[in-house]
Amino acid sequence: MAALLVFSLLIIEAFTQGKKEGVLSIFEQPILITSAGQNAEVHLASVLAKRAELTSTLSKNATVKDLENIKTIVVVIGTSLKGLGAAGLDMAQEKERINLLVEEAHKKNIPLLFLHLGGEARRGKLSDEFINTFLPHAKMVIVVKSGNKDGLFNKICDKHDIHLIEVERTVNALEPFKQAFISKE
């Protein structure tokens, strides 16, 4: 009897770990890809979408007007002061833009998939502000492991029951990103 109980617990643990680490196909196309923090990695996300053969639009400065016919918003999170300056934005303006997008997405029932592709180099006080503020609205997060050394993504995802996938390098995000979308077939 004890052996059966231990075996059952091991199966449950394996299933739970697999579910947390596996990819859920829960998002639909077309996709709007935008940056939270005006980072360069938003362009990498666009390349991933093309390689995954997903129907997407890239708009680094997306607004609620861009949500027409969109079924998923992909938010590439990470702050770049250079990017903010080039866009003519400050932190408050960028936060307000993302906040309005998140609010409208909730009203329209558009799920949010967050990507953090910049690794450790794209972390810091400013990026962490965006992560702490907006990540709780995600349905799923794909993060390059080096950007999660402190476990911040785990902490937020565990607290808000968000599906988290860690990858070794940006290139490894292609398969989970592709698999996160329901096939058009």
Asked if the structure places residue 18 within a domain, the reply is no
How many other CB atoms sit within 10 Å of the CB of residue 116? 30
- Cα separations in angstroms, 88 against 39, 91, 157: 13, 10, 32
- State the CATH number of the domain containing residue 115: 3.40.50
Non-local (6+) Cβ contacts of 82 within 8 A are none
Tell me if residue 181 falls in helix, strand or coil.
strand
Asked if the structure places residue 114 within a domain, the reply is yes
Handedness of CA 17, 120, 40, 99 (dihedral sign): positive
pLDDT tens per residue across span 13-43: 333 333 345 666 789 999 999 999 999 999 9
Asked if the structure places residue 22 within a domain, the reply is no
8 Å CB contact between 181 and 37: no
Asked if the structure places residue 59 within a domain, the reply is yes
Confidence class for position 184, pLDDT limits 50, 70, 90: low
Asked if the structure places residue 12 within a domain, the reply is no
- Give me the mean pLDDT over the 53-69 stretch: 96
φ, ψ at 145 (rounded to 5°): -50, -40
Non-local (6+) Cβ contacts of 102 within 8 A are 112, 134, 137
Domain count, the chain: 1
The residue range of the domain holding 130 is 28-179
Q: 93 pLDDT exceeds 90?
A: yes
Asked if the structure places residue 14 within a domain, the reply is no
Asked if the structure places residue 3 within a domain, the reply is no
Asked if the structure places residue 9 within a domain, the reply is no
